[in-house]
Chains A and B, each alone.
Chain A
Amino acid sequence: MNRFYMTLFFLFFLSTNVWAINGREVQEKVVEVRVKALTRKADVGMVLFDKTGKRTRTLNEYSKKTGDNAYKVLVMFKTPPDLEDVGFLIHARSFSDRDLWAYFPEYKRIRRIPNTSQDDSFFGSDFSYDDFGGPPNIDDYSFKIIKEEEFDGKPSYVLEVTPKIRRKYTRYIAWVAKDLWIYIKIEYYQDDTLYRTGSFKDIRTITGIPTPFKLEMENKKTNHRTELTLENIVYNPELSDDMFTQKTLQKGVK
């Protein structure tokens, strides 16, 4: 074997075994952390920025793991007065199958929100329905590590995520902080166009769970921006199953 073949062999070895972990395994780690964080309650401040200015909302979020891949989420708006008592309820039977209801007090009416629009904006925020609750179903996507780099002072895997069936976003690029196994930045692409970007900052570890306290999502197309600030996070509180019913949605959390 001459040097040339030696080099070739070395390069081949490098290209296949350069990372000890593959893309799917990275995502599996991320899901593991997310599942740990599924039962929690938090007060959320939401600020929407658009060309006319900003709107502020506050809401309470409750979520509970109810099975292996199953969970329930209840979101209740507190302010502004126009949105007081507006609520959302999610029943996820699995990471890919869930029901979503909304309650509008002025109509005294619960409305089902159809499944198909989960990529869509969550009512004017730049977050989508998918950004609330549990992680996406891992089998619906393929994952590939495209590089490793330091982001925001944290060494990260850069993951390319492609939905197996074409969806609104045809590709994501996610920065996963090594060791923490959470997303710290995500870019959503529609074909080759950058559509929105999300960043997850002020990461603190609460009850052993790394938690970003400041989430920001920006829509590059409309120049809308939404900031979420988390407060009073409690992991694994006592939350009864009765809390996640349409009745509570209607009556409010006592």
Chain B
Amino acid sequence: MSLLNLLRFISLRHMRLQKAQTFMAVSGICLGVAAIVSIGIINNSILFSFEDSINKVTGKAVLQITGAQSGFPEELLEKVQGVTGVEYAVPIIDTHGILVGGKEESLMILGIDVLIDHQIRSYSLSEDNSDIPDPLLFLAKPDSILITNRFAEREKIKLEQKINIQTVQGIKTLKVRGLLNPEGPAKAMDGNIAIMDIYAAQMAFGKEGRIDRIDVSILKGETIESVKKRIEDALPKGYNVDTPEGRTKQVEILLSTFQRNINLISFIAVFVGMYLIYNAVSIAVVHRKKEIGILRAIGTKRGQIIRLFLSETLVIAVIGSSLGIGFGIFLAKSLVSVFGQVVSEIYMRTSVNEISISYDHLIKGFFAGIITSIIAAMFPAISSSRITPISAIRSVPFSEDGFFTKKKLGIASIFFVVCAVCLFLQYKLTENNSYFHSSLGVFVATLFILIGLSLATPAFLKAYLLFFRRFIASKMGSSGKLAGLNLQKNINRNAVAAAAVFYGISVFVSTAGFMYSAKMSVMRFIDNAVKAEILITSGHPLATTGSKNIPMPLDMLKEVEKIPGVLQADPFRKLYVSYNNRRTLLLNIDVARRLSYSSFMVVSGEEKNLSNILSNKDNVLINEGFALKNNIKPGDSIVLPTPNGQVSFGVAAIIVEYTSDIGSILMDIHTYQRYWKERLADTIAVRVKDKKNSEAVRKAIQDKFGNDRKLFVLLASEFKKEIRKIIDQVFVFNYMLNVITLTIASLGIIVTLLASVLERTREIGILRAIGMLKKQVSQVVVLESMLLGLAGGTLGCVAGIVNGWMTLDGFYRSDFGASAQYFIPYASIIWAIIISGLLSAIAGIYPARRAAKTNIVEALAYE
């Protein structure tokens, strides 16, 4: 009751009066919640879209049989059809091509047995409502393809028109023999799906006699589990029999890094929101110190004061969180396609245009907003209750009482830092225990570092000012001396302003740190791995998951080597295999040739003689991520599914290899050809005899092959530039966040300084009374502001370096491996310090003006 009275008569009035602060607090929470909500929704929508596409493409199939990525013999189909309980087992070629011309759209191409596939999926092929004028012709001619109405409209393709599609066999001319209505699979992928007869697809994609997948529906009364078991028993080892849901799960695993990355953003956004709340409440406490004193004097208990500030925060948090949910949905709506594009480009084709809201995320966001706000308000609220009634009512403007005692602050600060260290150590030491080994732990650790160090701001500020006065102030004249003195007078309150900068800068530096490190690590690896001058690919040069890549036949190598100026052409084949039910990248190169000009970055295991160990032998190299995830050491062996069944390979060494974030295995291409019976390459790396001729050689290659197939012939330098672009793209949201945090931090500085100037009206009045010029007053205030900013910035850099390192470890190491070394982002740190000083100085200008305008008489009469 008493709380309601106080809320109604005091808090609500303050909220109305202090519109700027209320707005800052509300928008802080709103932003944080919006970030959680929108990222949650976007995540959800992307997954949902994958799931939806998978479901549409899956139809009635409850089991899907997959083998190695290069497909398996079609004879297996009969085996599966013979299994008891199987209703239909239909073969699938699941591949993709790129439409040549037009918008160069990528198409999912499903090769199906049109005569029976309708048992599993509804294509309306033989139904009368799709536009397939001559089904017999469609079946009889291998150049037949069906596309969706939507795709046809988009690309302005007419029925019976010939289209060119980039395939493994080069550019193929296919004839559109029908348009599919949006039904079943034709609805998936936003219509970017084409259907061919399975045998036509086999011919077009060089998969004669092979199929990629078997979709199985089961008879009534049979359970999925038992049929699955029977199929598994009927097939040779190495085949995956999985439910479509299992495939969705695989997508989730594939996208986990991306999701972790954007989750990190939402963590940081919440943190920024927390900081804003902390700042707003701290300022309110300083600002309302006298009011608190009066309330205490007339009999308000400490607990009541704390509860007052907390419930004030709660009111703001409820408003902010509610707005945040709305804003979050809006953000998700406007950003979902951008995110979808990034995912498509880096991970897997998808087209997400619709958001799917899950109430989970809304509720999670709402409560995260409220809980974090309350936590953020806790410290200033507790400190507010330490305000003694006497100090406030007697108008003693600058007493050193109040907030935490220095000792308690020190203890709290050390406590949090120790907690952070413990959490992080626990993370490091329990690498194989997923329960403790979670990114959340690391996040909490980084949070604790921030809280701990921010609590140390007063102590740091004191030392810093001592240093300033001793070594610098003496050279700056009276303003400098005064500034130092002033700041020293109320270290604790000034620390709030410094902490504002601290948070902003630390987030900036830590993000910059791990981005820089990730980039450096990848670039170092690329420099080592790519020694060639020219790279030939047929798809997106960086499609890490081959999403738009169409492999080239290996025979092209010799053709390339015939071109004058070419020294050597090396193949590179990447595909996915399933290891422990996880998609893993299998990279195949000509090891002997590679070793002749560049070595591997071996982390552990064999280093010498790798050429002998690997070349056409059953040995492989693995990357750190793969080793870590599966707990494999050099000397162990791993069993991989090949089209010829399970084969065991020895692990010769663990190497640095960043081609994919899901773990990779490196094999000699001869070994690969032996087991996979496939002669394809995704990339051909060309070394030239004379580097000066690179451009000419590139043109020669382009001229020679450009007619038959669509090729990207890139100079290595361009390729590296592309990589940088991709990395930047992955981090683009982090950059955006940096800008936001810095903006918010400077907003914080302005508000904090303004509050501090208002508080010091009387003191400034005295300074003016004893003869200080207006100009000097504003100089002092700006200088103070800058000093505070630099102090916060310096400490923020320290926290940022530590947190950046922890974030790299906690969020990215499992992908990059232990060799993901932390690089201190010196450039960013210098920027951070310049920015913190500059922004703070700018932030001080308005308060300085206010200060200079202080009316001496009024200031002295001030209560």
Interface residues of A (CB under 8 A from B): 48, 50, 52, 55, 82-83, 86, 102, 104-107, 109, 111-114, 116-117, 120-121, 123-124, 219, 221-222, 224
Contacts and interface: CB of A to CB of B under 8 A. Distances in A.
Contacts of B136: 83, 86, 123-124
**B118, B139, B199, B200: residue with the most chain A Cβ atoms closer than 10 Å:** B139
B135 A124 contact: yes
Given A50-B133, A107-B199, 20 more contacts: A55-B134, A82-B137, A86-B136, A102-B139, A104-B139, A105-B140, A106-B140, A107-B203, A113-B115, A114-B115, A116-B119, A117-B126, A123-B134, A123-B135, A123-B136, A124-B133, A124-B135, A124-B136, A124-B137, A224-B128
Contacts of B142: 106-107
Nearest to B113: A111
B137 A52 contact: no
Interface string B116-146: 1011000000101100111111011110000
Contacts of B140: 82-83, 86, 104-106
A124 B134 contact: yes
Contacts of B199: 104, 107, 109
Contacts of A221: 128-129
20 contacts: A52-B133, A55-B134, A82-B137, A86-B136, A102-B139, A106-B141, A107-B199, A107-B200, A107-B203, A109-B199, A111-B115, A114-B115, A117-B118, A121-B128, A121-B135, A123-B134, A124-B134, A124-B136, A222-B128, A224-B128
A107 B197 CA distance: 11
A104 B113 CA distance: 14
Given A52-B133, A107-B199, A124-B135, A219 B128 contact: yes
Contacts of A224: 128
A222 B200 CA distance: 28
A59 to B, nearest CB: 11
Nearest to A84: B140
Nearest to B126: A120
Contacts of A120: 126
A124 B132 CA distance: 8
Contacts of B119: 114, 116
Contacts of B126: 117, 120-121
B178 to A, nearest CB: 10
**B115, B118, B200: residue with the most chain A Cβ atoms closer than 10 Å:** B115
Contacts of A124: 132-137
A105 B142 CA distance: 10
Contacts of A86: 136, 140
B576 to A, nearest CB: 29
Contacts of A114: 115-116, 119
Contacts of B115: 111-114, 117
Contacts of B141: 82, 106
Interface string B88-126: 000000000000000000000000000110110000001
Contacts of B133: 50, 52, 124
Nearest to B202: A107
Interface string B191-217: 000000001100100000000000000
A178 to B, nearest CB: 34
A123 B128 contact: no
Contacts of B139: 102, 104, 123
Nearest to A117: B126
Nearest to A119: B126
Contacts of A104: 139-140, 199
Interface string B741-774: 0000000000000000000000000000000000
Contacts of B203: 107
For the complex of A and B, the 10 pairs showing the least CB-CB separation, nearest first, are: A123-B136, A124-B135, A120-B126, A222-B128, A124-B134, A107-B199, A123-B135, A104-B140, A221-B128, A86-B140
Contacts of B137: 82-83, 124
Contacts of A52: 133
B8 to A, nearest CB: 68
A122 B287 CA distance: 86
A102 B115 CA distance: 10
Contacts of A48: 134
A106 B142 CA distance: 7
A107 to B, nearest CB: 5
Nearest to A196: B128
Contacts of B134: 48, 55, 123-124
A123 B136 CA distance: 5
A150 B408 CA distance: 110
Interface in B121-174: 126, 128-129, 132-137, 139-142
B231 to A, nearest CB: 20
Nearest to A102: B139
Contacts of B200: 107
A66 to B, nearest CB: 25
A109 B209 CA distance: 12
Nearest to A195: B128
A55 B133 CA distance: 10
Contacts of A105: 140
A124 B136 CA distance: 6
A131 to B, nearest CB: 15
A219 B128 CA distance: 9
B73 to A, nearest CB: 16
A238 to B, nearest CB: 30
B500 to A, nearest CB: 71
B59 to A, nearest CB: 16
Contacts of A55: 134
B593 to A, nearest CB: 39
Contacts of A113: 115
A112 B200 CA distance: 16
A217 to B, nearest CB: 13
**B119, B126, B134, B140: residue with the most chain A Cβ atoms closer than 10 Å:** B140
A121 B141 CA distance: 19
A89 to B, nearest CB: 14
B527 to A, nearest CB: 49
A167 to B, nearest CB: 15
A98 B165 CA distance: 40
A12 to B, nearest CB: 45
A120 B136 CA distance: 13
Contacts of A50: 133
Contacts of B132: 124
Contacts of B118: 117
A55 B135 CA distance: 13
B787 to A, nearest CB: 82
Contacts of A107: 142, 199-200, 203
A239 to B, nearest CB: 25
**B118, B126, B136: residue with the most chain A Cβ atoms closer than 10 Å:** B136
A115 B203 CA distance: 27
A113 B118 CA distance: 12
A83 B177 CA distance: 14
A114 B142 CA distance: 21
A249 to B, nearest CB: 14
Nearest to A50: B133
A104 B134 CA distance: 15
Nearest to B143: A106
A222 B203 CA distance: 33
Contacts of A109: 199
Contacts of B128: 121, 219, 221-222, 224
Contacts of A106: 140-142
Nearest to B118: A117
B102 to A, nearest CB: 24
Contacts of A117: 115, 118, 126
Nearest to A83: B140
A67 B383 CA distance: 102
A83 B133 CA distance: 15
A123 B135 CA distance: 5
Nearest to A126: B128
Contacts of A116: 119
A251 to B, nearest CB: 17
Nearest to A111: B115
